[in-house]
Amino acid sequence: MIELRGLRKVFGDTVALEEIDLSVPAGEIHGIVGRSGAGKSTLIRCLTGLDRPTSGSVAIDGVDLSDQAGAEMRQARRSIGMVFQHVNLLDSRTALNNVAHPLQIAGVSKAERQAKARELLEFVGLGDRVDNYPSQLSGGQRQRVGIARALAAEPKVLLCDEPTSALDAVTTDQILGLIRSLRDRLGITVLIITHEMSVVREICDSVTLLAGGRVAKTGKLAEVISEPGSDLAKDLVPLPPVGLDEGDTVIVEASLAGSDLPTVLGSAQSVGVSADSILAGAVETIEGRQIGRIRFTVPGADKSEELITALEADGIYAEVALK
């Protein structure tokens, strides 16, 4: 559904995006993560045709946006629904007329577009707020209106640019739940740009990590997350930060990928490292598999090597996390 091939974008002397290849099949929720300046915003602008790629292609549902212009570009944009961090509703319009706006732009009659907008507002749970202005709605309600608006022209793809970054935790969960139900009920393809790892963990099927304008890692969430020793996995399943006090203590971190908790604990036990030595751990079950990391604190370098050897003998990836 979304196909990026060799996408490159240069601003003056700065390379914003380089060799971006990305493919998102229909009906999938794909997350794009990366730090500020990693190229996330440029990627979105290239996807929507607001910026033209320096080279490479951007195809949505087989239509290459990078070689469209004028009326055709405007037509092509209607196959993309866009959800913004700051929602960008028009203050001069009611919720109903904001949702109807994409249809107004497309030339749909007033009665028809208002009926559709009403239906969409019902769908996002705001059937009783149709006549409210954005200033009369809460942040979460505004984002719901924004999502309803993005759906109005029946797009095949929903692009979400940091859709929950301005919302509190509870509202974030509600909005993410709504996005997931859109995919489930409408079969829409969703691309979420975010810096919040929790968002990726919560709803993404697959994920791409951008760093320095390049794809640093991409794949199914379960695979990426279970890859031993990967930085993205560490970001996705974070452990609380730890400090070290005693001189000789070493922290060994074992990855649960491809294994499970009892195996790791058994392996540690076999070299005399008991469950008491667990300093921190994060374990999640994704698609029926246990994924996460366990940190053991062990006295001295010799013991840590012994533990790592024992874990690796059982096929568990382990490394010294702190010395």
Residue ranges that bind other proteins, judged by CB under 8 A: 48, 50, 71, 74-78, 80, 82, 84, 86, 88-93, 101-102, 104-106, 133-135, 153
Closest CA to 4 of 69, 68, 48: 48
For residues 188 and 252, which CB has a smaller minimum distance to other proteins in the complex? Answer: 188
DSSP for 197-243, please give it: HHHHHHH-SEEEEEETTEEEEEEEHHHHHHSTT-HHHHHHS------
CB-wise, 78 or 118, nearer to other proteins?
Answer: 78
Q: Which is nearer to other proteins, 20 or 82 (CB)?
A: 82
CB of 163 to other proteins, least distance (A): 13
Q: How far is CA 198 from the centre of its chain?
A: 8
In sequence order, what are the residues at sequence separation of 6 or more whose Cβ sits closer than 8 angstroms to the Cβ of residue 128? none
Residue 37 CA to residue 31 CA, distance in Å, equals: 17
Q: Describe the strand order of the beta sheet including 55-60 as a list of residue ranges.
A: 14-24, 2-11, 55-60, 63-64
Of all helices (H) and strands (E), which one includes residue 40? helix 40-47
Nearest approach, Cβ of 192 to other proteins (angstroms)?
16
Helix (H) or strand (E) holding 321: strand 318-322
Between 148 and 254, CB nearer to other proteins? 148
Nearer to other proteins, 23 or 79 (CB): 79
Choose among 157, 145, 137: nearest CA to 118. Answer: 145
Residue 14 beta carbon to other proteins: minimum distance, rounded to whole angstroms? 20
CB of 189 to other proteins, least distance (A): 16
Q: Is the CB of 89 or the CB of 311 nearer to other proteins?
A: 89
Q: How far is the CB of 57 from other proteins (least distance, A)?
A: 19
**Is-contact 297 268, C-beta < 8 A?**
no
- Burial category of 259 from C-beta neighbours within 10 Å (exposed 0-12, middle 13-18, buried 19 and up): buried
Q: How far is the CB of 166 from other proteins (least distance, A)?
A: 12
Min dist. Cβ of residue 207 to other proteins (A): 24
Q: Select 154 or 173, whichever has its Cβ closest to other proteins.
A: 154
Task: Report the residue count for the chain.
Answer: 323
